[in-house]
Amino acid sequence: MLNKDKGVSAEKRASKYLQKEGYEILEANYQQGKAEIDLITLKENKLLVFVEVKARKNNSFGEPEEFVSSSQQKRIIGLAEKYIYDINWTGDIRFDIIAMKDNGELLHIEDAFY
């Protein structure tokens, strides 16, 4: 499977998982310039959650969640700030990572960075 295909598949699986867990998907692949947020979700109408989905072909060089660099986090946070401003959000926010392991396991890391 090509990397892009693997990423798209991982994002679809993450969306299904989050919906099952009670999250409403507001945006998928929200982007501006070089910044992109894989998923923007709403939990119980009071928590806005920005989700980075990571999948790797294999984990021999590290776990997927370890590949969310500080520069990528800064881009995500900057774009999230713009989104928050654009929709006039005044509630709580959180940044999560969903990692797809090469054994098929899905790992949801809440409050992963900020």
Q: Quick check: pTM over 0.85?
A: yes
Pull the structure tokens for residue 110.
Answer: 């809440």
Q: Give me the architecture of the 3-107 domain, per CATH.
A: 3-Layer(aba) Sandwich (3.40)
Average pLDDT, rounded, for the chain:
89
d(CA 7, CA 29): 11
**Token pair 């959180």 is at which residue?**
94
d(CA 43, CA 24): 6
Q: Where are the domains of the chain?
A: 3-107
Point out which residues pair with 98 in neighbouring strands.
53, 108
Mention every residue, 6+ apart, whose C-beta is less than 8 A from residue 18: 25, 39, 41, 51, 98
Query: pLDDT per residue over 40-89, tens digit each?
Result: 999 999 999 999 999 866 555 666 677 788 999 999 999 999 999 999 99
- CB neighbourhood size of 98 (10 A): 26
d(CA 92, CA 102): 32
